[in-house]
Amino acid sequence: MEDGNMMAQTRTKRVVVKIGTSSLIYPDGKVNLQTIDRLAYALTALQNQGCEVLLVSSGAIGVGLDMLGQHERPAAIAGQQALAAIGQSQLMSLYTRRFTDYGTMVGQLLLTYDVFDYPVSRIHVLDTIEALLAQNIIPVINENDSVATDEMDHRTTFGDNDQLSALVARQVDADVLIIMSDIDGLYNVDPRKYADAHLLHHVTRVTDAILAGASGSSTRFGTGGMVTKLKAANTMITAGKTMVLVNGADPRVVLRVMAGEDIGTRFAPANKMPHAQSAQSR
């Protein structure tokens, strides 16, 4: 078993890990410092095992709300962007301190959608990421929420960090994308409504039926939901890559994923899952 785990880690060299707001913020709106500490530990451990690691992190607005003692997102875009500006700096401060405790450096990249639309800016961003990875520095990536908007002829927002993480994973040619959320994975039906719901461990195709059964965000602090995760999974499958959706209550779960443990839901082309059959929703 130990040799198999080592082989799994050797085969997968570049990993993008996405953590959602629901994993970083308690239901009462307070920042989950234990999760941040465990995330820093786990990603440092992966790096020490020879992986190149990128982190896509949500949570800026949630942290901003906590800092200001507020409990609901403001309706105005400007208010949300102000919260993101406040929360992002504090979130990076927390990451810097926790990762430093484990001997790892992090570097922040705030992106907008048009960075990847324009060849010159795309090359510069990818060169920056490669330079950070070459120095064993973990890029911490988030959408630049304070400036990102959707206008008629100029799209700058990704819409959610699930989509951002899949785009980053594809652009940097990552071997696997691990998305951590407040759910154990993809179920055949909504487990909150159906007692006989069961987890789908392997999915090789995101079908219309699977999409139809997805629901929206489960927390008031996050913007994503199962639909956005399925779209991210489809992006990875189309690119011939793997995505794993797991519960991020304890971020050390990424070590189990990278060790080859069959946990959560693994999305990948059929040829990347030689021992698995495609799971279909009912």
What DSSP character marks residue 21? Answer: H
Q: Is 165 annotated as a binding residue?
A: no
Nearest in space to 181 (alpha carbons), one of 225, 140, 142, 138 = 225
225 is in an annotated binding site: yes
Task: Report residue 234 as tokens.
Answer: 């489809």
**What amino acid occupies position 246?**
V
* Cβ-contact 17, 180 below 8 angstroms: yes
The first and second tokens of residue 88, run together, are 């992002």
The answer to the question of whether 281 is labelled as a binding residue is: no
Sequence-separated (6 or more) residues with CB below 8 Å from residue 118: none
DSSP code of 188?
A: S
Question: Does residue 227 have a known ligand-binding role?
Answer: yes
The answer to whether 4 is annotated as binding is: no
**Which whole-number Å values give the CA distances from 19 to 1, 152, 211, in the listed order?**
28, 30, 22
Q: Is 224 annotated as a binding residue?
A: yes
- The residues facing 98 across adjacent strands are none
Judge whether 223 is annotated as a binding position.
yes
First to last CA, the chain: 34
Show the tokens assigned to 118. Answer: 């324009």
φ, ψ (nearest 5 deg) of residue 157: -95, 145
Question: Is 161 flagged in the annotation as binding?
Answer: yes
The two structure tokens encoding residue 191? 């487990």
**244 labelled binding-site residue:** no
| DSSP three-state, residue 54 | strand
181 is in an annotated binding site: yes
In angstroms, the CA 279 to CA 257 distance is 19
In the annotated binding site for ATP, the residues are 18, 181-182, 223-229
In the annotated binding site, the residues are 18, 58, 145, 161, 181-182, 223-229
In the annotated binding site for substrate, the residues are 58, 145, 161
